[in-house]
Amino acid sequence: MAKAKRSRKDDPTNELKAFLDAKVEQFNKPGFIENDPISIPHRFKKKQDIEIAALFAAVLAWGQRKTIINKCTELLHLMDNDPHAFVLNHSEQDLKSLMHFKHRTFNATDTLYFIEFLKHQYTHFSSLEELFKVEKSDVTIENALVNFHERFFSLPDAPARTKKHISTPARGSTCKRLSMFLRWMVRDDKQGVDFGLWKSIQPAQLVCPCDLHVDRVARQLKLIKRKQTDWLTALELTDALRAFDPIDPVKYDFALFGLGIEEGWSKQ
């Protein structure tokens, strides 16, 4: 007797998609904001304030989330909780207040260069979006990240030590912090979590932020086969997620991160 054709409903790929879709719905909600670094830019209403707060929150996002939020709060307090105005109008005296700011290996040298670069950018442009140029033909944000790195360190006095804090695919980095920053700026999730402020990048071009928790969960779900964790791994993961949703693959970051952090999968 011939074997019955397998129903598409029984396809493991469809089952995994349904599972991850349910987890996206569970975690991609306003309740996610409070305990995540994305809560930092959510304190602001003006576009430029959101961009600056988001960039710092993403760049400083390593370690425990509570500590990250506390350090970002400290930094923004030193900027009078008015980051755009501070960047454009600060005095030398104002900068002295930043001299003792430190988070892990991010120190005053890095902070001051960030402020200098941001002043340069906002003096010439109204948004940071201009720094992340993509072409419609670009499958991903890879070229945008490479170009941003080059632009960021284009000022004459750019300190070499600060390069460790702005990653680039050109060096094989996963670029997880910048990918997260771009997720915040580009995705309009209709849930009020990601901001959807930028329109020049399509959600389909984003790359999934591949942090420790996402990496471990993705490997358990066999979404990653590559042994090391680098930029090609982030692309491999995003390609796998694109099979579930080619228009918005990075929405599954919520599912993978939530499974890792909230449900403890990354400890298994």
Mean residue pLDDT across the chain: 94
Encode pLDDT of 191-241 as tens digits.
Answer: 999 999 999 999 999 999 999 999 999 999 999 999 999 999 999 999 999
Q: How far apart are CA 41 and CA 49, in angstroms?
A: 7
Q: What is the pLDDT of residue 3?
A: 44
* Nearest in space to 31 (alpha carbons), one of 187, 177, 191, 189: 191
pLDDT > 70 in the chain, percent: 94
Flag whether pLDDT at 8 surpasses 60.
Answer: no
* pLDDT value of residue 148: 98
Phi, psi angles (nearest 5°) of residue 192: 80, 15
pLDDT band for 264, please (50, 70, 90 cuts): confident
Question: Which residues, including other chains, have CB under 8 Å from residue 148's CB and lie 6 or more apart?
Answer: 131, 132, 166, 168, 178
Whether residue 1 has pLDDT greater than 90: no
Which pTM does this prediction carry?
0.93
Across residues 73-85, what is the average pLDDT?
98
Encode pLDDT of 86-112 as tens digits.
999 999 999 999 999 999 999 999 999
CA 163/CA 253 separation, integer angstroms: 26
Burial string for 216-249 (b: 16+ CB within 10 Å, else e) reads: bbbbebebbeeeebbbebbbbbbebbbebbeebb
Asked if residue 7 has pLDDT above 70, the reply is no
How large a percentage of the chain has pLDDT more than 90?
Answer: 90
- Give the whole-angstrom CA distance, residue 209 versus residue 83: 25
Higher model confidence: residue 268 or residue 134?
134
pLDDT at 152: 98
pLDDT at residue 267 in the model: 67
pLDDT score of 60 more than 70: yes
Residue extents of the structural domains in the chain: 8-263
Q: What are phi and psi of 246, to 5 degrees?
A: -70, -20
Please determine, for residue 25, whether its predicted confidence score (pLDDT) is greater than 70: yes
Q: Tokens representing 57?
A: 């929150």
User: What are φ and ψ of residue 56, in 5° steps?
Assistant: -65, -40
